[in-house]
Amino acid sequence: MAILTIRAQAVVILQYHHIDDSTPASTSTSPALFAEHLEWLKQNEFSVMPLTEVTDKLRNKEPLPDKTVVITFDDAYSSIYKNALPLLKKHNFPFTIFVNTKAVDKRQSRTMTWEQLKKIGDQGTTLANHTVHHNHLVERNSDETQGAWIKRIEQDLRTAEKRIKEETGQHHKLLAWPFGETAPALEKMILNNGYLGFGQQSGAVSLLSNPAKLPRYPMGAGYGAMKSFPLKVRSLPLSVSDIEPDSGIAPQDGRIGPLTLHLHPGEWSASQVACYALGKTLDIAWQNKEKTELEVQMPDQLPLGRSRVNCTAPGPDGRWFWFSKDWVRLTNDGRALD
């Protein structure tokens, strides 16, 4: 049995969309359940920290505080203002809204207004970038070169950042990827432009997390159920220093070859690391005697759309180490499914 002995430090970021009983279930958390989440955090003495304080620590390579949670919302839905805000104010919890600016500019239904966003921004809410159009950024236009594709996405981010600054005065260079979908070239572009990125793959954040795609736990549908909420907010990072292949775009045929994870030393037992995908437990082949490099083989062809592999291991005090790697498999004509 190999025991690795460096204590983990982690922050858990939660991702919400609608806080409503009447919106699509896949992206909704009921106000009653959201209230339970907040009350649990308070009763269990978790610190709820502004996202900007956490990202400052990440950028400066400073230690992350344990038992810390960040609350984020994607898409600036009006239910955040109507239903979530009073509950967050009750506990004096800070939060972040990632804004897709076209929906706000067009005053789309179920979307907050710039006036509302400015008001809560002035009260301390962080307002950050969720692109202009909320498109699938991994899709290329017909006959579009890679260079033209990257420039198009880069311009979209700049336009959204500019609109948020114009309307609210905020400018943080923090990006939530629409649908959580990325590609290495896009990740490189945002880092070159000074952004940090946030995905929709589960896990805790550590100083070793990919700064272009920091993990967040989705809370929509059944993912925010109270039976699993404590497990997630108490999780620790199963820190991966390198992954091969690193692309978030699955091969066209959906067949993933061997996936290799290089683990940074931590407080887990190698004999208790387990990986899961497509409803199955994966066989693990350790690639070195120190048991810090493992290889898993995906069991089946990935379906169209988004898939992931989760690797976990029991940790101290009943907590769990957690790592998630996700992919998107495009259709034959290069489209991503909603």
Mean pLDDT of successive 10-residue segments in the chain (338 residues)? Answer: 48 98 96 98 97 97 94 98 98 98 96 98 98 97 96 98 98 98 97 98 94 98 96 94 93 94 90 95 95 92 95 94 96 94
- Select from 144, 189, 337, 149 the least CA-distant residue to 250: 337
DSSP 24: -
Q: What confidence score (pLDDT) does residue 71 get? A: 98
The two beta strands, 240-244 and 305-314, are: unpaired
Structural domains present in the chain: 11-235 (3.20.20.370), 242-329 (2.60.40.1220)
**What gap in Å lies between CA 148 and CA 154, rounded to an integer?**
10
Which contiguous run of DSSP H or E holds residue 43? helix 31-43
Q: What confidence score (pLDDT) does residue 213 get? A: 98
CB within 8 A of 135, min separation 6: which ones? Answer: 156, 178
Q: What confidence score (pLDDT) does residue 69 get? A: 98
The two beta strands, 280-282 and 274-277, are: antiparallel
Q: What confidence score (pLDDT) does residue 299 get? A: 85
